[in-house]
């Protein structure tokens, strides 16, 4: 079960990659039809429709999670964290199209084909991705160590919902989300927040936590990076969500937004 792909040194979430490819299908068909049918202004219409759709998708997501964004209004601009509502995106693009062709409604009929091309790409890619491989990923039976050097097996946390965050001190997105995760741990005592540092020594990790004034109940070390192949980690940070039986219900590669974290915690509850 993967939710991202590595492209060179970059890690790209699958949903973003699929969205880009679907939009490319839409734009490509619009460009092709504009050339073959000599439709003036079509490339501009297609790009503007995409921009209107992305803006509507973001605003729709923000509106649906307004209590979270109201606390930190600047986070509305943190689009690199994700957070777009596809339904609002489609509506935004459609409304822009209706307005753009209001003076010549006859042009709306050929505009259906670029939309169908983008939709076909999206359905194909997201459809394939939604087909799960046999079996479900589970909380591994793997013994790691605490900052004090004591052994601790991840399977010990079964029996309660678990949020497992894989991170490193050198990773900027990891560092940015740590304070938010500390708050979430304090607000959700019924959920075990487990942090696994990959490839670093206890002194490095403790120094970072002390410097930032952070404390976590379950901070574990994996200097040999044994967890990476067990959970198919391809980038940092990666956060896994397991139910009480230890079955994975979701994973998120990349920095978590506060809104996304709230949604995923709600699934655990």
Residue 136 lies in a domain: no
Query: Of 5-14, 51-60, 149-158, 254-263, which range is least confident?
Result: 5-14
| pLDDT score at 9 | 67
The whole model's pTM is what?
0.88
**In this predicted model, what pLDDT tens digit does every residue of 212-240 receive, in sequence order?**
999 999 999 999 999 999 999 999 999 99
Domain co-membership, 123 together with 35: yes
Instruction: Quote the number of domains for the chain.
Output: 2
List strands edge to edge, sheet with 192-198.
151-153, 143-146, 218-222, 192-198, 162-167, 238-242, 248-253
- Does 114 have pLDDT greater than 90? yes
How many Cα neighbours within 13 Å face the side chain of 223?
A: 10
Residue with tokens 């740590």: 178
Between CA 155 and CA 102 the distance in angstroms is 61
Average pLDDT, the chain: 93
Confidence of residue 1 (pLDDT cuts 50, 70, 90): low
Domain co-membership, 23 together with 104: yes
Residue 165 lies in a domain: yes
**In this predicted model, what pLDDT tens digit does every residue of 82-96 receive, in sequence order?**
999 999 999 999 999
- Does 4 have pLDDT greater than 70? yes
| pLDDT score at 134 | 47
Helix, strand, coil distribution of the chain in percent, nearest 5: 55, 15, 30
Provide the residue range defining the domain that includes 35.
Answer: 4-130
CATH of the domain at 217: 3.40.30.10
């Amino acid at each position: 079960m993967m939710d991202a792909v590595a492209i060179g040194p970059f890690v790209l979430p699958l949903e973003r990659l699929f969205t880009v490819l679907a939009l490319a299908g839409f734009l490509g068909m619009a460009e092709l039809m504009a050339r073959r049918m000599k439709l003036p202004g079509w490339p501009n219409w297609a790009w503007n429709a995409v921009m209107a759709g992305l803006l509507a998708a973001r605003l729709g997501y923000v509106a649906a999670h307004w209590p979270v964004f109201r606390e930190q209004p600047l986070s509305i601009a943190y689009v690199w964290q994700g957070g777009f509502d596809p339904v609002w995106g489609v509506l935004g693009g459609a409304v822009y199209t209706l307005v753009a062709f209001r003076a010549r409604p006859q042009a709306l009929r050929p505009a259906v084909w670029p939309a169908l091309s983008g939709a076909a790409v999206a359905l194909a890619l997201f459809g394939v991705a939604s087909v799960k491989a046999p079996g479900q990923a589970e909380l591994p039976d793997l013994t790691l160590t605490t900052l004090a050097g004591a052994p601790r097996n991840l399977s010990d946390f079964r029996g309660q919902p678990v949020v497992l965050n894989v991170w490193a001190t050198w990773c900027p997105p990891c560092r940015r989300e740590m304070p938010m995760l500390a708050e979430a741990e304090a607000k959700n005592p019924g959920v075990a927040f487990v942090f696994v540092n990959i490839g670093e020594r206890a002194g490095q990790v403790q120094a970072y936590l002390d410097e930032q004034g952070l404390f976590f109940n379950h901070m574990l070390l994996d200097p040999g990076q044994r967890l990476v192949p067990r959970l198919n980690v391809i980038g940092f940070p990666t956060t896994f969500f397991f139910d009480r039986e230890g079955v994975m219900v979701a994973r998120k590669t990349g920095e978590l937004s506060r809104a996304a974290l709230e949604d995923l915690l709600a699934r655990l509850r």
